Amino acid sequence: GESVGLHLPTLSVQEGDNSIINCAYSNSASDYFIWYKQESGKGPQFIIDIRSNMDKRQGQRVTVLLNKTVKHLSLQIAATQPGDSAVYFCAENEGGGNKLTFGTGTQLKVEL
């Protein structure tokens, strides 16, 4: 069936650098995308979302880019901090409902 996947399972960055986490999706019917952060022993925490009628959305230190042509989603974290260390998941919502499908996740490690 349709799936959401990530290119890199682990990403290591230096504190203060920018991080980019990528996600590929295959369901062309998806119209809403969310990035979640999950720390050890906790449930996923909402970071930022974007709808398919947009190609960029910015939050505090985070930016999500959506390229519908190649079905690609990315999360950019500016000035990465130790507290950003976690697993990051992209999730897609198929059009017309609340069916949320997750990718496999990327482990972000911030080195001091």
Q: Which 3-62 residues touch another protein, going by CB under 8 A?
A: 4, 31-32, 34, 36, 41-46, 49, 51
Q: Are 51 and 66 in contact (CB under 8 A)?
A: no
- Name the one range near another protein by CB under 8 A: 14-22, 57-65, 72-80, 88-96: 88-96
Q: Are 2 and 93 in contact (CB under 8 A)?
A: no
Please identify which residue in 70, 83, 97, 112 interacts with another protein, judged by CB under 8 A. 97
When the beta carbons of 31 and 72 are compared against another protein, the nearer one is 31
Residue type, 27: N
Binding site for another protein (CB under 8 A): 4, 31-32, 34, 36, 41-46, 49, 51, 89, 91, 93, 95-105
